[in-house]
Amino acid sequence: MNDIDHQHQSLHHTDIYQHGEPLQPQQLTPLTELVLTHIDNNYPKLQLYVAGIVYGLIATIVCLIIGFIVPLSITAKLLLILFILITAALIIRLTYLKALTICYGVFKGELIMRQGLFWISTTALPYTRLQHVNLSQGPLERQYQLVTLKCFSAGSGEAEINLPGLNADTAEHLRQHLLHQAAENQTTNANVITASLDSQHG
């Protein structure tokens, strides 16, 4: 083995990342139960109202087409119409139940949103990554004084958290709080970086 190979081998051994001992399950950070807040009660009602109109209208049109245009026996038409009505009612019901699952939590270092009926999704946005907070309100939401809060993180073109069904006053208060927390975290991070650079050059 020549000197060059020996040097490469020495570098290979010294550059290996030392992972240390693996942690046991009991050594992991304990999982704490999240205390989350449900959105305004008017939002599930609004979703039920909108879904009832949309899917009810679609089901009515399809049933009329089946009843007057599709060449089937009366029994087949009745069974098909019954199936369509049951499907529409089920979709409307699931839309309402899904809206009931939306909840959020404002914590010291992050905002958390959870939703989902069968597939539950939990999204956490640390304030250190929060860059912009937007409030939007559609014409139907305006009737119920509801607002959708959208949180954007740095480098993301789409909202990382899209939280609907908030009371207008609550949403504005939450928006100001989130922006304040984001500004504080950015200032703290900037001070830490500055102090670190000063210590290196000192």
- Which pLDDT tens digit goes with each residue over 41-69? 999 999 999 999 999 999 999 999 998 98
CATH architecture of the domain covering 104-191: Roll (2.30)
What confidence category does residue 189 fall into, taking pLDDT thresholds of 50, 70 and 90? low
What confidence category does residue 191 fall into, taking pLDDT thresholds of 50, 70 and 90? low
- For residue 186, pLDDT over 90 is answered with no
The domain locations on the chain are: 37-101, 104-191
Q: 9 CB contacts (<8 Å, ≥6 apart)?
A: 1
Cβ(121)–Cβ(135) below 8 Å = no
DSSP assignment, residue 16? S
DSSP assignment, residue 37? E
What confidence category does residue 84 fall into, taking pLDDT thresholds of 50, 70 and 90? very high
Q: Which of 11-25, 37-51, 84-98 has the lowest mean pLDDT?
A: 11-25
Pairing of strands 121-126, 110-115: antiparallel
pLDDT at 24: 79
pLDDT at 155: 72
What's the whole-model pTM score? 0.76
- Which pLDDT tens digit goes with each residue over 117-128? 999 999 999 998
What confidence category does residue 174 fall into, taking pLDDT thresholds of 50, 70 and 90? very high
pLDDT at 3: 52
Cβ(150)–Cβ(161) below 8 Å = yes
- Which pLDDT tens digit goes with each residue over 127-159? 988 888 999 999 999 999 999 999 998 776 788
pLDDT at 17: 63
